[in-house]
Every structure is written in C-alpha cells, then in structure tokens.
Structure 1
C-alpha cells in the first residue's frame, strides 16, 4: 500500500498580488457621510454615516470607469473625472 496522498492548496496569483492602480484607496463625499475604500485586492468596503461596512463587494476599474458588484447582489458603476469619483449621484473625493 502506498503512503497518503498529499495535496497543496495555493491561492490564485491575483489574490496574492496587490493592485497598484492609482484609484485604490479611500474616496469620501464632501460631508464625509459616504466613504468608499477601494482595496488593493479588488474588493471594496463602503461606510455610510456611523454604519461601517454598510456595503461590501468587488469592483473592477476599466480606464476611468468603475463597476461594483455588491455581496448582496446589486450592481452599480461610476466614473472618475479629473480625479473625482462620480457614483450614484454622489461625488467622492480622494482622501490621502
């Protein structure tokens, strides 16, 4: 009888390599109520008011266009214009 079979599980390369896209980071409405954190792994975390992580999901940036796929199933999109994110009637600014 042969020895036990050993399996090695590895993560996909895309999960290990952070994005270096210039839009990765925190985007905030002028009043600070809505905050989009575009994470380097292609996920986002959106806070609204005192509600942290109100929405979470994945995103993809193509040129100056961003598509969102929320974990609950809805989709949304936006456009970066002159360093400002326009999304769902909101205007979000880059927070350093």
Structure 2
C-alpha cells in the first residue's frame, strides 16, 4: 500500500489602495523548507471607470500571483539544473 503525505504551502496576499486609481498587491508563499518567494502586482483604473476596489484587487492580485508562479517555475528549473548538471527547458505558461 502506498502512503501519501499531504504537503501545504502558506500563501499570503495583501492589498494597498494608493488612491482612487491605483491598487498594489503583494504576494508571499512560504515553502515547507522555509523558503519565501515574494512578488508584486499593480492595477490602475481609468478615471472614467467606476470605482470598484474589489476589481482592482482581483487584477493586482492576479498579476502578483502570476509573477509568483513565474518565480516558482524558475526556481524549480534552477534546482533541476543543479541536480542534473544540465540545462532544463521551462515551458512558458
């Protein structure tokens, strides 16, 4: 019988409204080995658009999480390269 071990990552997202037009997001993931990876995202609202802070958070948050994903892919490929002694070729998502 195969035993499965659950592994979890702690992810945090924080938002800051700079004014009525700009939202910033900061993303942080803590990996089980203690490594922390951080990324940022930003959203801007056009002056004629309705003020919808939640939408700004969604856009800024998505951009921060996308950057976090790219950093994790790069980190994984660096680890593959270090272990294998060859250059891996990441697939861009």
TM class, shorter-length: under 0.3
Q: Which has the higher helix share?
A: 2
What TM-score, normalized to structure 1? 0.25
Q: Which has the higher strand share?
A: 1
What TM-score, normalized to structure 2? 0.26
